[in-house]
Each structure stands twice: as C-alpha cells, then as structure tokens.
Amino acid sequence: KNEVEQSPQNLTAQEGEFITINCSYSVGISALHWLQQHPGGGIVSLFMLSSGKKKHGRLIATINIQEKHSSLHITASHPRDSAVYICAVSSWDSNYQLIWGAGTKLIIKP
Amino acid sequence: NAGVTQTPKFQVLKTGQSMTLQCAQDMNHNSMYWYRQDPGMGLRLIYYSASEGTTDKGEVPNGYNVSRLNKREFSLRLESAAPSQTSVYFCASRLGKLAGGSEQYFGPGTRLTVT
C-alpha cells in the first residue's frame, strides 16, 4: 500500500464546476504539499500546509491531521486549470525527502 | 531571479555514452534534488543534497552520480547511459534542509533519450 494515495486518478469536468481532489496518507507528517504539473511539464508548488486551510485565488487546500487527509478544491474551474495535481508529504521518519502521490490528472472542458 | 535553471533542455545519447546534467539556483537555497519522471509515472528521487558539501542517495540512485559543486550548483552525471535512463529529469531546490520546512522549487526539466 502506498504511503500517499490520491483520488481520483483522472477527473474530467466542465468549465465552471467545483473540483475536489483528495489525498490520504498513512505516515506522521510535518507538512503536506500540493503541486501542479502543467501539460508542458513544468512543476509549480501550490501550497504547503501543516494544519487548517489555505487559499490562493480560486484554489483552496485543507488538511485534517487526525484523519490524515487533505483536499484540494478549485472553484469556478477553467480549462487553464487542466494539469496534473500532485500531493506530497514530508514524514517525521524521512525529514529530508518528500513522499509523493501518483498525481491526479484533471481535464476541464470548455 | 531566474529561479532553478537546468541545461540542457533536450539530449539524445547512445547507449554507453556519458553526460552531465547541470542545475543551478539563485535563491540561496540550502537543499537541492534530482528527480526522474518516466511517462505516466510520478517523480522518483535520484539523489539529494541537504546542504552544501553533502549528498545522499534517494530512491533510484543506481547508474548516477552527483556533485554539489557549491551552494548554487548541483550536477547529475550518467557515466554509461542505458535505455532505461530515458526519462525527464527535474532539478529542485528548497530553502531549508528539512522537507517540511519550505516549498520546493523546480527547474524546467531535461528530456533525455538513450538509444
């Protein structure tokens, strides 16, 4: 069983829909990261969080430490949001490295 | 600031050839990383350097060597390239030494094909 699991693996939605991507992990963590990989390949860090909720524009990330679960939400989705969204955690046992999820491929249709 | 830069962007090698992938960051970051990403797969850590002067193996180090030349630069060397090393290689850096302390910044990637 992977230590970081994302769902769904693939998600196709219509423009304007509210999007939720989930990440569950099985290790004790110091922080959880959400990243975005564009179709061209570039990888950008979206959020790093260890508790509560963070918001940036139309993106919202939440984390529940007790349940070992995080969600990434996109409001008013747009075709330019189409990308792979990756969850990664830094565990207490592996302080220098991130444990990566497999990614969720999101396609937003106009 | 240029952020994290990588050279070259594309490279084709024949089996057995050697090459060095270069990475530099201008953000005064302490930690630097080399990842590979195979088609349809997630990122896998090859080597990392938590601080200048130190390097450590990641998940898939076989067939690679690294050098942390100074605080800015972290190079990845393939001594004898194999078709299994065909991949996209990403360099990344972060301010802190610990993975939970700060965000990771990525270079644009190097697309390597070994024939």
**The pLDDT of residue A1 is above 80:** no
Least reliable range by pLDDT among A36-45, B18-27, B67-76, B96-105: B96-105
**The pLDDT of residue A39 is above 90:** no
Residues of B with CB under 8 A from a CB of A: 31, 41-45, 48, 50, 56, 58, 88, 90, 92, 97-106, 108-109
Nearest chain B alpha carbon to A33: B103
Contact A90 B90 (CB under 8 A): no
**The pLDDT of residue A104 is above 80:** yes
Q: How far apart are CA B107 and CA A66, in angstroms?
A: 34
Of A43, A50, A96, the CB nearest to B50: A96
Contact A31 B58 (CB under 8 A): no
pLDDT tens track for B29-77:
999 999 999 987 889 999 999 888 899 999 999 999 999 989 999 999 9
Q: What local confidence, expressed as pLDDT, does residue B99 receive?
A: 63
Task: List the beta strands (DSSP E) in A8-82.
Answer: 10-14, 19-25, 29-37, 43-49, 52-56, 59-64, 69-74
**The pLDDT of residue B100 is above 80:** no
Encoded amino acid at B37, one letter? Q
**How many other C-beta atoms lie within 10 A of the C-beta of residue A30?**
14
Contact B42 A100 (CB under 8 A): yes
| A95/chain B closest Cα distance in angstroms | 5
**How many other C-beta atoms lie within 10 A of the C-beta of residue B53?**
9
Encoded amino acid at B6, one letter? Q
CB burial string B8-41: b at 16+ within 10 A, e below: eeebebeeeeeeebbbbbeeebbbbbbbbbeeee
Of A35, A41, A98, the CB nearest to B88: A41
Residues of B in contact with A101 (CB under 8 A): 42
